[in-house]
Structure 1
Amino acid sequence: MDSARKRYDLEEVEIDLEESSDTSEYDNEEEPQTLWRANPSLDEEEDIHTSTLVEISDTKPLINVRDPRGINDCLKVTFEDVIAEPVSVRSGDRVWIWSHALFEVSRVWIYRIVTVLLAIPMSLISGLLFAILSCLHIWIVSPCIQCLYMGTRWLQALWSIVLGVVVRPLFTSAGKCCGGFSIHLAKE
């Protein structure tokens, strides 16, 4: 079945962008079949109910989009953000060009060296930390909170009664008393 699907996926689809209003150029006077619409593949039919999040694997890193939520926007630092010479004080042009080049090269290569040394251990530590925190939250914190809600259901009912019997009438009457006042501003 997979070989049939692969053959179907590799089929070429021609796209005819010419207008089909002129039928005289066809030999048998039949209108040609529309070539711009390809038949849906079996993969598309199976993936109708899946979202784009399902297509992205948890283990396959996104190479092109490494900060999709913009978490590290504050780290988009260029040479001009760090070093700037005013018009009144200037170094030589060659000094400026070489310092710019050394800044960029050292920033990129030192980052790459440090990430080679730290990325794998830090990702392992972060993965372990988030796994432990997730496990604690799912199996300890959430059940304890649910037990607390179940045990204090009577307290919630009592508090709503106190609010309905004491606090609501008090603020309703205060609002009606203050609602009778009106302020009129007049120019003299």
Structure 2
Amino acid sequence: MAGVRKGGDLEEVEIDLGDASDPEDLDEGEQPETLWKASSDREGESIHSSSLVDISDTKPLINVRDPRGMNDCLKVTFEDVIAEPVSVRSGDRVWIWSHALFEVSRIWVYRIVTVLLAIPMSILSGILFAVLSCIHIWMISPCIKCILIGTRWLQKLWDVVLEVIVRPLLTSAGRCCGGFNIHLAEE
């Protein structure tokens, strides 16, 4: 389908969605950043072949959804699940249709289940982590700090016991055992 022309050549159209820097904020020589740009029809490209420019706030969230590789174990393909040895083979059409149906059902069932469960689970996870953070920050950490302050004398006593009794005992045992030499000889 060819590009739509009105009158003469199409000119390049830039649309600023408001996320780019203001021209007043730019340093000398910097170009303003646009998020979306319609390409011109001068090189024979269709106006419908517009593309997103690499500058976007949401693009990293959309493209890299598992940046830490937490779910690498779920990278499953058809060949990981179903494999026919050379000695036993089904028809080519069965194999092709099986592969296609596997991929389509895997993708669409996942999408349907995520539509039903993703938002409620994200809300529940957010609530759970907020409650756990609140409990940790406002209850557990102060209690641990109070216990550490209250048992500071016990820590000092333990340090003295280690320095006066345990360290000299282990040091002398180490020096006694350090005098032994073991020689292995072949017979």
> Normalising by structure 2, what TM-score?
0.70
Question: 1:63 is matched with which residue?
Answer: 62
Gaps of 5+ in 1: 14-37, 42-55
Question: 1:140 is matched with which residue?
Answer: 139
Report the Cα distance in structure 2 between the residues aligned to 1:151 and 1:96, rounded to whole angstroms.
71
Deviation at 1:61, TM superposition (A): 7.6
Structure with greater strand percent: 2
Deviation at 1:40, TM superposition (A): 10
Over aligned residue pairs, what C-alpha RMSD do you find?
2.7
Q: Does 1:122 align with 2:138?
A: no
Change (3 A) 1:40 1:117: closer
Question: 1:160 is matched with which residue?
Answer: 159
Q: Residue by residue, what CA displacement relative to the aligned partner does 1:24-45 show, whole Å, maximum 9, x if unpaired?
A: xxxxxxxxxxxxxx3699xxxx
Deviation at 1:82, TM superposition (A): 0.6
Q: Residue by residue, what CA displacement relative to the aligned partner does 1:72-111 show, whole Å, maximum 9, x if unpaired?
A: 1110000011111111111111111100000000000000
Gaps of 5+ in 2: 1-20, 33-55
Question: 2:6 is matched with which residue?
Answer: none
Secondary structure of 1:62 counterpart: helix
Question: 2:38 is matched with which residue?
Answer: none
The amino acid across from 2:131 in the alignment is I
Report the Cα distance in structure 2 between the residues aligned to 1:140 and 1:96, rounded to whole angstroms.
59
Runs of 4+ deviating beyond 4 Å? 8-11
For 1:69-148, what aligned pairs fall within 5 Å after superposition?
A: 69-148=68-147
Deviation at 1:10, TM superposition (A): 7.6
Secondary structure of 1:63 counterpart: helix
Secondary structure of 2:88 counterpart: coil
Deviation at 1:9, TM superposition (A): 6.2
> Normalising by structure 1, what TM-score?
0.69
Q: Does 1:7 align with 2:23?
A: yes
The amino acid across from 1:112 in the alignment is R
Q: Residue by residue, what CA displacement relative to the aligned partner does 1:46-72 show, whole Å, maximum 9, x if unpaired?
A: xxxxxxxxxx98x99811110000011
Report the Cα distance in structure 1 between the residues aligned to 2:59 and 2:96, rounded to whole angstroms.
40
Q: Residue by residue, what CA displacement relative to the aligned partner does 1:123-159 show, whole Å, maximum 9, x if unpaired?
A: 1110000001000000000000000100110111111
Aligned residues: 144
Report the Cα distance in structure 2 between the residues aligned to 1:65 and 1:156, rounded to whole angstroms.
48
Report the Cα distance in structure 1 between the residues aligned to 2:181 and 2:127, rounded to whole angstroms.
64
